[in-house]
Chains A and B, each alone.
Chain A
Amino acid sequence: MQLAPTAFLRDWAFGPLAFGMLVGLVMFFAAAGLIMGVRAWAGTEPVAFGPVVLGAYWFGLAGWLLGIGVWSKWAKEWLGLPVDRTMKTGWQRYFDFTTDHKVIGVQYLVTFLSMFLLAGVLAMLMRIEHMSGDQVLFSPAQYNYVMSLHGITMVFVAVAAVIGGFGNYAVPILIGAKDMAYPRLNALSFWLAAAVPVLLAATFFAGGFDAGWTAYAPLSTENSDGQVLFNLAFITLGLSSIAGSINFIVTVIKLRAHGMGFDRLPIFVWAVFAMSLLGFFFTQYIAAAMLMTLLDRVFGMAFFDFTEGGDPLLYQHIFWFYSHPAVYIMGVPGLALALEVISHFSRKPLFAYRWVVGGILGITALSAIVWAHHMFTAGLSTAELFFFITTTEVISIPTGLIFLGALGTIWRGRLWLRTPMLFALAVVFNFLIGGLTGIFLADVFTDIHLQDTFFVVAHFHYTIVGAGIFGLFAGIYYWFPKITGRTYSEHLAQLHFWWTFLSFNLTFLPMFWLGLNGMNRRIAVYPEELEFLNLLVSLGGFSLGASFLVFLYNILKSWIRGPVAEADPWRARTLEWQTSSPPPVENFTEAPRVVSGPYDYGSPSTAHAVFGASTNPDGAG
């Protein structure tokens, strides 16, 4: 059974990619034809976007995955056929069904950073629109599409960039493993996620979508066809997240090196582990919400249709049952990455390590019972309001623990203010603002005023961008030498930091006042008296956008011809720095054995790990 022309797949750099697209397109159109045929035969109008695309998509997706390598490198095995075990080398690995977790990490990073920059351009367009209270660039409908596309793209970036990128790249090395527990499933997760930007781009040709990233029914059951693609994109990313989460959970439980007890896990590993516990379970609820919407839209069901007795609030419950945990998935990995960097760059053990771990596990558990704080104005009963205020306020306690861990580590540390550390400190600053403003939203009395205003927009940008994305950049500057084996310009990096940090605050701080003064979310035109604050926000936004040009220039140039990096440029203790830059395939040349905590900078004579079976377990590093 020869599905793939093997030599072509193996030898041409873009062979797998091209073949995946080809098989995907063929299967998509074949299935679409079949569905239309069946519809014609059954006497219904054959061409209908919803049913045809909804059905054919899964065949296209399967074809894409099989073509790019699932068939030749994996599925053949299920039939007892020999699989292709060749691995491309150099840059070609990034365009193949490669199972090396470091390659997959970089694939995620590059893909989602690109999406980040594109969605940033959309944000610039929105800020042009908001430079004046009147209509400038877009009709209200067009504005809503741009806003929705910006929102969902950024949400996907926040969900997948840090966990998919650095989770994959760093977690196996940090725990002393060769790879993830299921390397092929890992590659599958990435190539599934790769379908997501394609779907989002395709919405442009299907009338767009205008229901925001939250896609509330009933609007999302009756707007333009692009909404179907949005729902499919969310489900697809969900499948990828579920597979990835299971992979992380098993990896952390099963593949830790000798001596790497749970009490010695780097805090970033803890965060990825805890967020995977959320991801593998709760992501099914977004799949359910998206599926019910599609059933209503395409198959004439009525989950959310109140004219038939359905209930739009059901959508909100299921949506937020996932999406509240998801906002932690977006924020906490970046926060933990900042803690990681802060400990290494303060040359101090992470303060109250056990309490911080407890804090992470605490918000993981509590995040399951706070979702309806997003629905305070949707008509909940007093008892429900009371319950959800209480749980939401309680979640401040574990959040505070994580925060104290950061402050306690900085306190009297010998701070080494290199770029990763600057970004990490900014995470702490931004997250303080984001977290404190959350408290006003958690109180029904204040939230009734603030719901659906720019106050909420500012709050979640401070948490998700301020912590999650700033954490992503802390990670990029921290691990860049490890990943590429090269060094970036520290001057340009610091320029990028200050430019981004100041512009970020100039952009989002005024939004709190805009919200307080009644500026609603998701509107193209607004009252004239809000123009001044909006102008500030717009100018801050343009500056923020421009600051990433410095980043791009620095990173691209250094990746190609930066000075060669050492194995451990930061003199940090954790395992990734105890191997070459970049690390070899399977990470270490000798098996590591962990002999002390990751942050024990107080006792410089001990190493975190020793290598090779013959080494004295207590030996100095």
Chain B
Amino acid sequence: MSTSTYTAHDSHAINSMGLWLFIVSETALFSAFIFARYYLTGTDQPSELNIGLGYAITAVLLSSSLLAYGAERRIAKGDRRGFLWLTLGTIVLGALFLVGVGLEWREAAHAFAPPDLFGVVFFSLTGLHATHMVTGLIALCFVWLVGWRGGFGATDHWGVTGVVRYWHFVDAVWLTVFPTLYLV
């Protein structure tokens, strides 16, 4: 069995494992709210739900993940300019997604405001997800700022890798939340 020694260990592998564990842990939090959706409202859906808008913001979010992926690839190749532009693109698309959620909320607040049960699960699931988006956006801004000031390089960019992985995770969560609320 391979074991790390007292003196040397691989800090990248250690950070990476911690982040994975954190992601699994966050999955549990979302699963509780998704469970509540089915437990309380089954698969009910109000007719006022704007599915078109839902698809649109989903597309925006998926593209942002693509850009984030590209940003990480670029910094790994030492291309700082490309990395900065792609990170900026990710941030813009992420913000656009949040605007879309905002529009969605405005309609929802008229059609099925809590304590309407669907409203309860709709607002709390999308709200919880949006909170994670905001955290991700703040982290992306940090990453951009550090990169802009000359931080990160081809061999040393754990900060980018970590934040991008988190971003993909928040995306993946949306790919569960979206069908849970809109499609089932």
Contacts and interface: CB of A to CB of B under 8 A. Distances in A.
A479 interface: no
A299 B128 CA distance: 14
A292 B18 contact: no
14 contacts: A78-B142, A80-B146, A80-B150, A246-B18, A246-B21, A250-B17, A254-B4, A254-B9, A254-B17, A257-B3, A284-B25, A302-B114, A305-B115, A591-B7
B152 to A, nearest CB: 10
Contacts of B142: 78-79
A53 to B, nearest CB: 18
Interface of A: 78-80, 176-178, 181-182, 185, 242, 246-247, 249-250, 253-262, 280-285, 287-289, 292, 295, 299-303, 305, 308-311, 314, 317-318, 321, 588, 591-592
Contacts of B117: 302, 308-310
B33 to A, nearest CB: 6
A176 B9 CA distance: 13
B146 A249 contact: no
A549 B85 CA distance: 65
Contact of A309 (B28, B40, B146): B40
A363 to B, nearest CB: 19
B28 A310 contact: no
Interface in B99-147: 114-117, 120, 123-124, 142, 145-146
B145 A262 contact: no
Give the secondary structure class of B's interface.
helix
B184 interface: no
B21 A301 contact: no
A318 B40 CA distance: 13
Given A246-B22, A302-B115, A314-B36, A258 B5 contact: yes
B108 to A, nearest CB: 13
Given A78-B146, A254-B14, A260-B3, A301 B29 contact: no
A289 B29 CA distance: 10
Contacts of B14: 181-182, 250, 254
Given A249-B21, A303-B40, A314-B40, A284 B3 contact: no
Contacts of A284: 25-26, 28-29, 32
Contacts of B124: 292, 295, 301, 303
10 closest A-B pairs by beta carbon, nearest first, are: A288-B32, A591-B6, A302-B115, A284-B28, A284-B29, A308-B115, A301-B120, A246-B21, A301-B114, A256-B3
B28 to A, nearest CB: 4
Given A280-B24, A309-B40, A309-B117, 14 more contacts: A79-B146, A80-B146, A250-B17, A250-B21, A254-B4, A255-B9, A256-B3, A257-B5, A262-B1, A283-B25, A284-B25, A285-B32, A302-B115, A318-B35
Query: Chain A CB within 10 Å — which of B7, B22, B29, B33 has the most?
Result: B29
B163 to A, nearest CB: 10
